[in-house]
């Protein structure tokens, strides 16, 4: 393990049990009118200013120090190309890569030969959707997905539509879950692939993946089933054979591993064929050419092994902290709505709408807590979340939503502080809101006819 001094040098001083560090501040805003927006779009921290508490674990997770410990030797000492078969440097790296492949496979109940290393879940999703659709295009030209998938899945499907494929975007129910009967009816004789994510990255709902992969829906109709499990692997028990999953996307940085690495599970029996996205040396079973980055892959393997060992403890602790956060906020302020199914969900992802409060204003008010109003991939947009729109959330509530992420390194003090600050700032913002004042007077806002001047 790394010494305490080395870790302190890497991460800096800690506040509330989480890495903090003072950064040099440089004023980059030339116009004072842009400063409000700059608070959200990014700025440097002032000298001696502490970094905010981190409550955005769905966007990314900090690397577990044990993962860094496993990676460091392959950054410095064991630097051979894992595809060099003629000397010891290559053999050392190849052994490490194959060990990591087994660690990933063990976490999801797969065979190590079914694991393909990629740069992350976005690449894995692209490979799955485009690769399967293009390989079977002579016989099958239809793909099914849902309206609440990650943006890279939706954009991959749009790319297929431009190539002449037919894509069905299934709506979801108001609790965020897909309707199995509707999904079954949507599958056609020319359907090649169904893609439904395991745990949603914005509202945390857990789709009935086992039922989708079952003989009733996909397997009996000889349709391949892909699931984006970036938010699920390492957090909930996953078994590709029990779920009858044919392709599964995995991300390293969502499970306390390094950024820039992920994996794709590709079933061998019954065999799944896909066209590779990139050409080259034919590494990774010819599906993903390019030199496998040994340090990153070792880090992913270590993160998977730690997740497997500590999953029950982490899940129990995260559930407790999430319940504590939600309970305090719900008890402290009225007109608070949790988005998504209250039972079939991953507890560490909590999406809450605060009525009569603008979400972006609340984020700015909570500047000492790192939160988001939706997916990190679309957070630059001020449009309401397409996931919340898909579950039928009113536009005003969709604009007032905040996503709270609880993870392995979250402390009780951080949860209490976040809840108290949230209650305090929501009350303050509501006091300034004319809509809140009208509601307190008993006026039904939906009965008002607004006119534009």
For residue range 89-142, list pLDDT tens digits in order.
999 999 999 999 999 999 999 999 999 999 999 999 999 999 999 999 999 999
| 380-394 b/e (C-beta count within 10 Å ≥ 16 → b) | eeeebbbbbebbebe
CATH architecture of the domain with residue range 311-447 = Alpha-Beta Complex (3.90)
pLDDT band at 384 (very low <50, low <70, confident <90, very high): confident
Strand partners, 145: 169, 195
For the stretch 63-98, pLDDT in tens is 999 999 999 999 999 999 999 999 999 999 999 999
pLDDT value, residue 72: 98
Look up the pTM and report it.
Answer: 0.88
Q: How many CA atoms lie within 13 A of 33 on its CB side?
A: 0
| Mean pLDDT (whole number) for 191-204 | 98
Calpha distance 429→337 (Å, rounded): 17
- Angle of CA points 234, 235, 238, to nearest 5°: 65
8 three-class SS: helix
The torsion angles phi and psi of 19, rounded to 5 degrees, stand at -55, 130
pLDDT value, residue 381: 55
User: Active-site residue 20, yes or no?
Assistant: no
Reading the block at residue 76, the tokens are 């410095």
CB 379 within 8 A of CB 372: yes
65-306: CATH, from 3.40.50.920, 3.30.70.240, 3.40.640.10, 3.40.190.10: 3.40.640.10
| Mean pLDDT (whole number) for 46-66 | 91
3-state SS record for 113-179: HHEEEECCHHHHHHHHHHHHHHHCCCCCCEEEEECCCCHHHHHHHHHHHHCCCEEEEECECCCCCEC
pLDDT value, residue 294: 98
pLDDT value, residue 307: 98
CB 128 within 8 A of CB 273: no
Among the listed residues 20, 304, 377, 422, the single catalytic one is 377
Domain residue ranges in the chain: 65-306, 311-447
pLDDT at position 149 over 80: yes
Please tell me what DSSP assigns to residue 325.
H
Cis, bond preceding 425 (omega within 30 deg of 0): no
pLDDT at position 420 over 60: yes
């Amino acid at each position: 393990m790394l010494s305490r001094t080395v870790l302190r040098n890497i991460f800096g001083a800690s506040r509330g049990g989480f890495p903090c560090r003072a950064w040099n501040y440089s004023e980059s805003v030339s116009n004072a009118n842009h400063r409000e927006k700059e608070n959200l779009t990014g700025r440097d921290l002032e000298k001696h200013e502490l970094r905010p508490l981190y409550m955005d674990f769905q966007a990314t997770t900090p690397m577990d120090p044990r993962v860094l410990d496993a990676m460091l030797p392959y950054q410095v000492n064991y630097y051979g190309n894992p595809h060099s078969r003629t000397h010891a440097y290559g053999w050392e790296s190849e052994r490490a890569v194959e060990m990591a492949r087994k660690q990933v496979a063990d976490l999801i109940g797969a065979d190590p030969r079914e694991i393909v290393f990629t740069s992350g879940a976005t690449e894995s999703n692209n490979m799955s959707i485009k690769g399967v659709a293009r390989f079977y295009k002579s016989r099958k030209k239809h793909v099914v997905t849902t309206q609440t998938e990650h943006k890279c899945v939706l954009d991959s499907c749009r790319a297929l539509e431009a190539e002449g494929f037919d894509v069905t975007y299934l709506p979801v129910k108001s609790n965020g879950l897909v309707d199995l009967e509707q999904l079954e009816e949507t599958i056609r004789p020319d359907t090649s692939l169904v893609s439904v994510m395991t745990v949603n990255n914005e509202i945390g709902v857990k789709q009935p993946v086992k039922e989708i992969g079952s003989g009733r829906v996909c397997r009996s109709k000889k349709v391949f089933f892909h699931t984006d499990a970036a938010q699920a692997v390492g957090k909930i028990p996953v078994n590709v054979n029990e779920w009858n999953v044919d392709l599964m996307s995995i991300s390293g940085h969502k499970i306390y591993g390094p950024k820039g690495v992920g994996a794709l599970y590709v079933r061998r029996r019954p065999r799944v064929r896909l066209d590779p996205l990139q050409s080259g040396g034919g590494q990774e079973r010819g599906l993903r050419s390019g030199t496998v980055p040994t340090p990153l892959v070792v880090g992913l393997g270590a993160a998977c092994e730690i997740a497997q060992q500590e999953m029950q403890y982490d899940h129990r602790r995260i559930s407790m902290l999430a319940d504590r956060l939600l309970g305090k906020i719900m008890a402290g302020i009225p007109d608070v709505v949790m988005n998504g199914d209250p039972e079939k969900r991953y507890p560490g992802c909590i999406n809450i709408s605060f009525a009569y409060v603008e979400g972006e204003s609340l984020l700015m008010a909570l500047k000492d807590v790192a939160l988001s109003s939706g997916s990190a991939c679309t957070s630059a947009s001020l449009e309401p979340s397409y996931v919340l729109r898909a579950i039928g959330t009113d536009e005003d509530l969709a604009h007032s939503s905040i996503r709270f992420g609880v993870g392995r390194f979250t402390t009780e003090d951080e949860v209490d502080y976040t809840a108290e600050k949230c209650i305090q700032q929501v009350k303050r913002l509501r006091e300034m809101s004319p809509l809140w004042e009208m509601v307190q007077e008993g006026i039904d806002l939906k009965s008002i006819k607004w006119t534009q001047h």
